[in-house]
Amino acid sequence: LGYLFLKMILDKAITPEEVTTSLIILVIVFVFVRALMSKGRRQVSLPGPWSFPLIGNLLQLGDHPFLTFTEMRKKYGDVFLIKLGMVPVVVVNGMEMVKHVLLKDGEHFAGRPNMHTFSFLAEGKSFSFSVNYGESWKLHKKIASSALRTFSKAEAKSSTCSCLLEEQVIEEVSELVKVFAELTSKKGSFEPRNAITCAVANVVCALCFGKRYDHSDEEFIRIVKTNDDLLKASSAANPADFIPCFRYLPLRIINAPREFYRALNEFITLHVQDHLTTYDKDHMRDITDALINTCHKKYATTKTATLNDDEIISTVNDIFGAGFETVSTCLYWSFLYLIYYPEIQARIQEEIDGNIGLKPPRFEDRKMLPYTEAFINEVFRHASFIPFTIPHCTTADTTLNGYFIPKNTCTFINMYQVNHDETIWDNPNVFSPERFLNENRELNKSLVDKVLIFGMGIRKCLGEDVARNEVFLFITMVLQQLKLNKCPRAELDLTPTYGLAMKPKPYQLQAEPRSADSA
């Protein structure tokens, strides 16, 4: 325990002054927590490494837990048990076991553990992180999926909708191209993360709230920074998630996520409440209006209105968060790969020039650009920037790989391992978009289905189609108009920094306008 505190001090997660107060409180509550955790309950019977009392295997995880679990798999198999603090956690690797957990026996693994950090999101009402799984949750997700489809599919052009994903992305990429060119002109080279994040955030704001912000807008900058701070605070292994008595300690590492979640919740609540006041059933502006509309009529599978105002806020919160971070992280990685492998960038541009030319790309053009699609899927696979699904939890006593797993057991799905499994992928550590093309240079959809980044089954990310379409338009429009270069003599690093969504280390690039006759 002393080592754990020392490590947090060295990592600047807590101050030495906080340790004294924390240890006093810890001693007081430890006896009660230990008694609570040891109440008669059937134990998980899986193999796994020996663990320390109280802190379990926390100190063995290292800086990249997904790699640690991949190594443990060699000794303990696809399914093994670790202890994070006082919480037993089943770690699942291997495509077959992952399919069993998420698809075949999905109902039994569809819960969420009661984690301290995520309890702050949407004031604990988030359906993505909801501990409770049942009919109400299913209906909640169905409504959210329907609202998202309404404003993200090309068919929506013929409806009364005024906020279409496709049009909004085109507008934001056009602005991003200008920003990239201006930054290169002024600075010679620049770090692209802020510009990418603002562009993607504007797409989500348009989908959810029917509005966009100027990149210099103070409110917009504040909420973008709040999201970034939230991810930094949540990416650290929060002891309170796995050692319950830590929840009572006055440590910033434990309490910081609450502050950032509250700021994000207030931003979204303000916009939703404004929509509730200005709602017009004859003019659907965005996803929020679509959700409100659902509340005003009977949903197909129910006899009464299905969402209250708080549930609308939590649903918008989920869509906002999911659409924001996954896409911006993917683009940040994509531009790094494009300057790391200029020959791949040139091939994508050749494909764009030959099949689209100078006309603005559309979602429907994805099928015309198989190499570009292969590149995007290889970014998903190789970077595996979301290494785990959001933690799952068993909803009933069940078995896995012949072992008994009791109800309410926390479960980690190691998607990174599947994306780098040598039995599925040839030379998995090599970045090669060609692996996704068959002998006819067409996209191999059976391999695409084996890439895990959005999860699968009941708890699969509802924004996968939106994210894939959005990433495609961003990449094709940028490369249609710009050539991206690394800075001369710069060293690029593909090693990720661990977090909820793993980002590459900061890098600089240059954006050079492509001549009109290059297309």
What local confidence, expressed as pLDDT, does residue 299 receive?
Answer: 47
- The fold of 2-518 is Cytochrome p450 (1.10.630)
Kindly report the pTM of this predicted structure.
0.86
Burial class (CB in 10 A: 0-12, 13-18, 19+), 444: middle
Residue 26's pLDDT band, with cuts at 50, 70 and 90, is: low
Distance from C-alpha of 266 to C-alpha of 274, rounded to nearest angstrom: 12
What local confidence, expressed as pLDDT, does residue 165 receive?
Answer: 86
Residue 353's pLDDT band, with cuts at 50, 70 and 90, is: very high
pLDDT at 59 over 90: no
DSSP conformation letters of 229-270: HHHHHHHS--HHHH-GGGGGS--HHHHHHHHHHHHHHHHHHH
Task: Summarize pLDDT for 140-177 with one digit per residue, the tens.
Answer: 788 888 888 877 765 544 444 443 788 899 999 999 99
pLDDT at 501 over 90: no
CA angle 508, 419, 442 (to 5 degrees): 85
- Average pLDDT over the chain reads 83
pLDDT at 217 over 50: yes
What local confidence, expressed as pLDDT, does residue 157 receive?
Answer: 45
What local confidence, expressed as pLDDT, does residue 303 receive?
Answer: 52
Coil/strand/helix, residue 152? coil
Residue 40's pLDDT band, with cuts at 50, 70 and 90, is: very low
Task: Summarize pLDDT for 465-495 with one digit per residue, the tens.
Answer: 999 999 999 999 999 999 999 998 889 999 9
Under a CB-based contact definition with an 8 Å cutoff, are residues 57 and 49 in contact? yes
**Terminal CA-CA length for the chain:** 62
What local confidence, expressed as pLDDT, does residue 329 receive?
Answer: 93
Beta strand 410-413 pairing with 87-92: parallel
Over residues 224-228, the mean pLDDT reads 71
pLDDT at 32 over 60: no
pLDDT at 426 over 50: yes
- Binding residue per annotation — 461? yes
Task: Summarize pLDDT for 182-207 with one digit per residue, the tens.
Answer: 999 999 999 999 899 999 999 988 88
Over residues 322-346, the mean pLDDT reads 93
Scanning the structure block, which residue is given the tokens 């030319």?
357
Which among 173, 149, 32, 183 is positioned nearest to 512, based on CA atoms?
A: 183
What local confidence, expressed as pLDDT, does residue 12 receive?
Answer: 56
Scanning the structure block, which residue is given the tokens 């434990």?
254
